[in-house]
Amino acid sequence: MLIASWNVNSIRARMMHAHDFLQAQQPDVLLMQELKTLEFPAMDFKALGYESVAIGQKSYNGVAILSKLPIETVTTKLDGDDEDTHARFIEAILDEPDGKRLRVVCIYLPNGNPIGTEKFIYKLGWMDRLIHQMMRWKDDPIPTIIGGDFNVIPEDIDCDKPANWVRDALFQPEPRERYRAMQTMGWVDAFRALHPEEAGAYTYWDYFRQAFERNRGIRIDHFLLSPALRPRLESCVIDKTPRGQEKPSDHTPILVTLK
DNA sequence: ATGGCTCATCAAATGAGA
């Protein structure tokens, strides 16, 4: 079972890239973030063999789950703040062929820049709400995989040069502590669990300064597995191919294989 | 280099991203 996650930075601008990626990798599931539109092209993905669920928003945010497997139930709200209108969360239960069920959660965690503003406060609050939900999921009989753009650089090894990021919301102690707290609870960072020492493995590169060519990036797109799912973790890789194409998203896909 | 680029909206700048 192959599950991918990709911040496409506008689904309209990246439709061909998404098509090429699905053809090349044939994932069973694809999580997408930053759709940047209210209209999700579900019919186009249906033609490629994928059911889909999405929550969109004009101009900003927007997340979707594509699946070759049947999609059972869907939630589009993260608990804890009824006033939150951002389209950053979608949760689905998928039916695996052997009768098992799998909870798949796609998130676009707030960026939080600049620090010292409401945006940073919102990011921390959003993470606290997610952690609260993760506590409940952890003990649920249905195992859970959370994927998406976390907008957190977990450790120094996850960026080219820590000094460049010390004033950035993605690298602040507060979000990083929260990301560590998730792992302390028993959730597993799929990539780091399988590649504990690997440096220079990034999922995002600036459009500026030939950042991709120089591999000056950050690892901010992650998969977290609930403890029950850990034994099924087979591989986790970052596919840099889409980032190297013409007019790419600034993010590239990350892929997990579950036994 | 507190953005040099790329999106969206909407028809020229501006906000957002990270």
Q: Which helix (H) or strand (E) holds A2?
A: strand A2-7
Work out the average pLDDT over A33-39: 97
CATH of the domain at A168: 3.60.10.10
* Residue A108 annotated among the catalytic residues of the structure: yes
Ramachandran area for residue A144 (φ above 0: left; ψ -120 to 50: alpha; else beta): beta
Task: Read off the pLDDT of residues A188-234 as tens digits, 9 standing for 90 and up.
Answer: 999 999 999 999 999 999 999 999 999 999 999 999 999 999 999 99
CA of A64 to C1' of B11 (A): 30
Task: Read off the pLDDT of residues A41-69 as tens digits, 9 standing for 90 and up.
Answer: 999 999 999 999 999 999 999 999 999 99
Task: Read off the pLDDT of residues A81-135 as tens digits, 9 standing for 90 and up.
Answer: 999 999 999 999 999 999 999 999 999 999 999 999 999 999 999 999 999 999 9
Q: Which domain holds residue A27?
A: 2-258
Contact present, A158 and A222 (Cβ < 8 Å): no
Nucleotide with smallest C1' distance to residue A36 CA: B8
Contact present, A256 and A223 (Cβ < 8 Å): yes
Nucleic strand B near CB of residue A234 (< 7 Å): no
* Residue A149 annotated among the catalytic residues of the structure: yes
CA angle (A80, A230, A145) in 5-degree steps: 35
Q: What are phi and psi of A174, to 5 degrees?
A: -65, -55
Count of structural domains within chain A: 1
Between strands A221-225 and A144-149, the pairing is: antiparallel
Q: Quick count: other Cβ atoms within 10 Å of Cβ A226?
A: 22
- pLDDT at position A128 is 98
pTM for the model: 0.97
CA of A54 to C1' of B7 (A): 20
Which nucleotides of strand B come closer than 7 angstroms to any CB of the protein? 1-9, 15-18
Contact present, A89 and A149 (Cβ < 8 Å): no
- pLDDT at position A166 is 94
In 3D space, the residue among A2, A32, A63, A33 whose CA is nearest the CA of residue A190 turns out to be A2
